């Protein structure tokens, strides 16, 4: 058994036993009530899912196994002379709950290198699609096409027992994560660089090699940015759409390929991961419309108000859970403050931070007027020459795979059942209210 699997098995078995006791003694205790508002308006704040790798606080932001983004930036292992964490170390942390040593992070890196070869039929499938197919469509289909190699599906077919699920899920997840940079870079090069592909560099780590294969920048800082990017986008607890979609599909015992492909499809929505492309598209359209990349504050305000008056959202602002500026935005801003000087798009992003929130606040309905992770990422990518904004969400997806697949392995190890919440019709809600009113009236009269 490999060292990560060994450590995971110990932790998972212990938690499985603890949870058994917890459910025996406290399973009937209510975590929260559900209001009609919550049922109609996207199930906000309903505590009804167990997710081990990370937890989101409305004010503090995301914590991976208790560690904030800032703490991770200073304590996760790095490559020699590296300035940002290795995502491999974050995966170890999400899987085990313990910060890895440098050797352990490198073990993950080496393991993923061994598993990184992509079968030819995946490239053939991609080549059968028009090059202008949205990169997220290509990404999702490439992940799905790898399903031919699913160990989980094969073993299930052969009759594996429930206690073996997590092991097969682990093997598939490790194989899948290992292949994602190659697949994602292939999609980038075929879509935007005439299929002029760049071979992997086996001396590089997972994030560094992805940056190398993208090939949009010779600046070594792009590899550094990619390590940061792949770390901060990895997980955002279980309720967000990409995580929840992966979790839901996994709960049917669909294998990791089906599950991640579903999660990627959810990430492709403009209210979720696609917001990173929308932000840059919106800023570039503004620059074109105003004829300047140094707009005045009044010009920025007018443009924001015009967007709102057309019934559109301001991309990169707002959040379903967060109620403060997103620490993932702040981390990217710190990166830019340290390494990027006088970039016009970065400067616009920073100025929007002061101009957008009061305008959103004045609408009187927006619960969080602050920027989220997507408000900043595109400006950094543009700075390093990646102008093809329709690709941005694929980068997000490569990172998000780490969290949702780690959570999937945990779900199988903890014996999580099929997810199946209850739905109601609008008519049934009205009937429920009528019955309740009648019962209340009867109580009062007696
Ligand atoms: N611009 C304009 N209006 C906004 C807004 C924004 N950025 N954010 C919220 N609102 C509006 C909502 O559309 C809603 O309006 P209606 O009542 O007329 O429908 C109202 O304010 C209340 O919404 P909310 O409760 O504050 O926010 P929700 O939980 O419903 O939605 C969203 C959260 C992230 C979807 C929302 O803030 C939004 O659309 N933001 C812009 C898109 C975006 O940046 N998405 C990325 C989010 C982070 C993420 O998942 N990254 O992957």
**What pTM was computed for the model?**
0.97
Active site residue 163: no
How many A from CA of 76 to the centre of ligand 1?
32
- The rounded distance, in Å, linking the Cα atoms of 217 and 435 is 65
b/e code 38-66 from CB counts within 10 Å (16+ = b) = ebeeeeeebeebebbbbbbeeeebbbbbe
pLDDT in tens, the chain (446 residues): 999 999 999 999 999 999 999 999 999 999 999 999 999 999 999 999 999 999 999 999 999 999 999 999 999 999 999 999 999 999 999 999 999 999 999 999 999 999 999 999 999 999 999 999 999 999 999 999 999 999 999 999 999 999 999 999 999 999 999 999 999 999 999 999 999 999 999 999 999 999 999 999 989 999 999 999 999 999 999 999 999 999 999 999 999 999 999 999 999 999 999 999 999 999 999 999 999 999 999 999 999 999 999 999 999 999 999 999 999 999 999 999 999 989 999 999 999 999 999 999 999 999 999 999 999 999 999 999 999 999 999 999 999 999 999 999 999 999 999 999 999 999 999 999 999 999 999 999 98
Model pLDDT, residue 341: 86
Active site residue 272: yes
Which listed residue (319, 326, 376, 383) is catalytic? 319
How many A from CA of 227 to the centre of ligand 1?
28
Which listed residue (272, 326, 376, 383) is catalytic? 272
- The rounded distance, in Å, linking the Cα atoms of 31 and 48 is 8
Domains of the chain, first to last: 3-110 (no CATH), 112-269 (1.10.580.10), 275-389 (1.10.230.10)
SS3 130: coil
How many A from CA of 140 to the centre of ligand 1?
25
Cβ partners under 8 Å of residue 164, min gap 6: 155
Starting from the edge strand earliest in sequence, which strands make up the sheet with 54-57, in order? 54-57, 61-64, 67-68
Query: 304: part of which helix (H) or strand (E)?
Result: helix 297-309
Pocket of ligand 1, beta carbon within 6 A = 240, 271-273, 275, 313-320, 360, 365-368, 372-374
CB 107 within 8 A of CB 96: no
What are the C-alpha distances in Å from 359 to residues 1, 313, 314, 348, 350? 56, 12, 10, 16, 16
What are the C-alpha distances in Å from 78 to residues 83, 103, 143, 344? 7, 11, 28, 30
């Amino acid at each position: 058994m490999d060292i990560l699997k060994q450590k995971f098995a110990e932790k998972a078995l212990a938690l499985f036993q603890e949870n058994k006791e917890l459910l025996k003694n406290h399973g009937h205790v209510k975590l929260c009530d559900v209001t009609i508002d919550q049922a109609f308006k996207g199930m906000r704040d309903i505590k009804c899912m167990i997710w081990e790798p990370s937890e989101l606080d409305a004010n503090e932001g995301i914590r991976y196994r208790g560690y904030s983004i800032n703490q991770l930036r200073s304590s996760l292992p790095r490559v020699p002379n590296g300035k940002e964490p290795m995502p491999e170390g974050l995966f170890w942390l999400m899987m085990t709950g313990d910060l890895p040593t440098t050797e352990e992070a490198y073990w993950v890196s080496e393991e993923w290198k061994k598993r990184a070869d992509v079968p030819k039929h995946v490239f053939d499938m991609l080549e059968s699609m028009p090059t202008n197919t949205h990169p997220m469509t290509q990404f999702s289909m490439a992940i799905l096409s790898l399903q031919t190699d699913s160990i989980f599906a094969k073993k299930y077919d052969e009759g594996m027992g429930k206690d073996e699920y997590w092991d097969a899920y682990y093997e598939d997840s490790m194989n899948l994560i290992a292949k994602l940079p190659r697949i994602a870079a292939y999609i980038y090069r075929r879509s935007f660089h005439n299929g002029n592909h760049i071979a992997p560099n086996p001396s590089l780590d997972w994030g560094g090699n992805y940056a190398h294969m993208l090939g949009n920048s010779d600046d070594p800082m792009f590899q550094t940015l990619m390590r940061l990017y792949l770390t901060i986008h990895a997980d955002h607890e279980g309720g967000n759409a990409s995580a929840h979609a992966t979790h839901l599909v996994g709960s049917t015992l669909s294998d990791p390929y089906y599950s991640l492909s579903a999660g990627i499809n959810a990430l492709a929505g403009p209210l979720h991961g696609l917001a990173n492309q929308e932000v840059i598209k919106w800023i570039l359209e503004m620059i074109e419309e105003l004829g300047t990349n140094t707009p005045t504050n009044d010009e920025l305000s007018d443009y924001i108000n015009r967007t709102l008056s057309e019934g559109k959202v301001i991309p990169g602002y707002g959040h379903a859970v967060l109620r403060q500026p997103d620490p993932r935005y702040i981390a990217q801003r710190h990166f830019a403050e340290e390494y990027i000087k006088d970039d016009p798009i970065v400067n616009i992003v920073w100025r929007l931070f002061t101009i957008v929130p009061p305008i959103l606040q004045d609408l009187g309905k927006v619960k969080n007027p602050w920027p989220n992770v997507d408000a900043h990422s595109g400006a950094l990518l543009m700075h390093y020459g990646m102008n093809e904004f329709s690709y941005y969400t694929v980068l997000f997806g490569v990172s998000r795979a780490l969290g949702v697949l780690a959570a999937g392995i945990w779900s199988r190890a903890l014996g999580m059942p099929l997810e199946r919440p209850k739905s109601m019709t609008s008519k049934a809600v009205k009937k429920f209210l009528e019955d309740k009113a009648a019962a209340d009236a009867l109580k009062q009269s007696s």
